[in-house]
């Protein structure tokens, strides 16, 4: 049974179990790299650790999982996924190996069909799950005294809008084009931009201001604000 590397593999004998148990009882758990030498075992430390944690530890519970344990396992699996050591940590006496084997043998199919039943009961005709990238925008604070803002506002031309046949979308597009032209002029006039010359950064605020001009012009053309009548 000796492996080519000289370390023993395969099933543990009673003699080996006794050596490992005595060693852990004497020196405690941990420092597994010292255990093979201390116990006089021709085993690697990982094998010693797993043998102890999954089999020899005194408080390990044997036998089938009871109803409460299964129920708790299902809920923990929902929370933690396939993190068997975390789930086992909340099931006293159960090892991560036992939890994993039980789940893969009995639970995987059950939970899947359970989810199907839930969805049928909800009677939701459409439900889609799509992985997508979540973007984190970098926030900026513009201050009242921003020279860029003041200059932009002063230079901003009013956008002429024809009321006949114009829709909101078209107006928005027109202001976007006008904004780009103005932005180009602005960049030519100032080599060092307040925001470091990144066009994408300028774009947002420019469009906001142009939109404001658009609304202002529209309001003016309507002959002033609609008067609110008191009841």
Partner 1 sequence: MENSTEESHLRSENSVTYESPYPIYGMSFSPSHPHRLALGSFIEEYNNRVDILSFHPDTLSVTPHPSLSFDHPYPPTKLMFHPRKPSPSSSSDLLATSGDYLRLWEIRDNSVDAVSLFNNSKTSEFCAPLTSFDWNDIDPNRIATSSIDTTCTIWDIERTLVETQLIAHDKEVYDIAWGEARVFASVSADGSVRIFDLRDKEHSTIIYESPHPDTPLLRLAWNKQDLRYMATILMDSNKVVILDIRSPTTPVAELERHRGSVNAIAWAPHSSTHICSAGDDTQALIWELPTLASPTGIDPVCMYSAGCEINQLQWSAAQPDWIAIAFANKMQLLKV
Q: Which residues are at the interface with partner 1 (CB under 8 A)?
A: 78, 81, 115, 122-144, 149, 153, 168-169, 172, 200-201, 203-205, 207-209, 211-212, 215-216, 219, 225-228, 230-231
Residue 51 token pair: 């043998």
- Within 10 angstroms of residue 49's Cβ, the number of other Cβ atoms is 18
Element (H, E) at 88: helix 84-89
Place of tokens 């107006």: 171
Q: How far is the CB of 172 from partner 1 (least distance, A)?
A: 6
Q: Nearer Cβ to partner 1, position 50 or 149?
A: 149
Q: Nearer Cβ to partner 1, position 183 or 211?
A: 211
Query: Helix, strand or coil for residue 230?
Result: coil
- Within 10 angstroms of residue 84's Cβ, the number of other Cβ atoms is 23
Q: How far is the CB of 82 from partner 1 (least distance, A)?
A: 11
Q: Nearer Cβ to partner 1, position 62 or 122?
A: 122
Phi/psi zone of residue 63: left (φ > 0), alpha (ψ -120 to 50 degrees), beta? Answer: left
Q: How far is the CB of 183 from partner 1 (least distance, A)?
A: 13
Q: Nearer Cβ to partner 1, position 186 or 205?
A: 205
Q: How far is the CB of 22 from partner 1 (least distance, A)?
A: 45
Residue 218 token pair: 């529209």
* Residue 85 CB partners (closer than 8 Å, separation 6+): 96
- Within 10 angstroms of residue 146's Cβ, the number of other Cβ atoms is 15
Cβ(59)–Cβ(95) below 8 Å = no
Q: How far is the CB of 129 from partner 1 (least distance, A)?
A: 5
Residue 71 token pair: 């129920």
Q: Nearer Cβ to partner 1, position 39 or 202?
A: 202
Roughly how many angstroms between the first and final C-alpha of the chain, as a whole number? 98
Q: How far is the CB of 74 from partner 1 (least distance, A)?
A: 11
Helices 199-221 and 147-155: crossing angle in degrees, nearest 10, is 40
Q: Nearer Cβ to partner 1, position 62 or 130?
A: 130
């Amino acid at each position: 049974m000796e492996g080519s590397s000289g370390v023993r593999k395969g099933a543990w004998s009673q003699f080996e179990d006794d050596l490992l148990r005595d060693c852990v009882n004497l020196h405690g758990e941990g420092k597994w790299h010292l255990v093979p030498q201390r116990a006089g075992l021709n085993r690697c430390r990982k094998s010693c650790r797993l043998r102890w944690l999954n089999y020899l530890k005194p408080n390990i519970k044997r036998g089938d999982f009871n109803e409460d344990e299964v129920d708790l396992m299902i809920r923990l699996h929902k929370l933690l996924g396939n993190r068997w050591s975390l789930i086992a940590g909340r099931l006293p006496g159960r090892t991560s190996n036992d939890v994993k084997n039980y789940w893969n043998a009995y639970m995987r199919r059950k939970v899947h069909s359970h989810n199907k039943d839930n969805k049928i009961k909800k009677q939701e005709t459409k439900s889609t799950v799509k992985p997508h990238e979540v973007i984190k925008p970098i926030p900026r604070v513009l201050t009242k005294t921003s020279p860029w803002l003041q200059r932009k506002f002063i230079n901003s031309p009013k956008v002429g809008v024809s009321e006949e046949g114009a829709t909101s979308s078209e107006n928005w597009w027109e202001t976007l084009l006008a904004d780009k032209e103005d932005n180009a002029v602005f960049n030519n006039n100032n080599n060092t931009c307040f925001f470091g010359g990144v066009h994408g950064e300028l774009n947002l605020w420019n469009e906001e201001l142009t939109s404001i001009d658009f609304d202002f012009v529209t309001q003016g053309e309507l002959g002033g604000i609609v008067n609110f009548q008191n009841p």
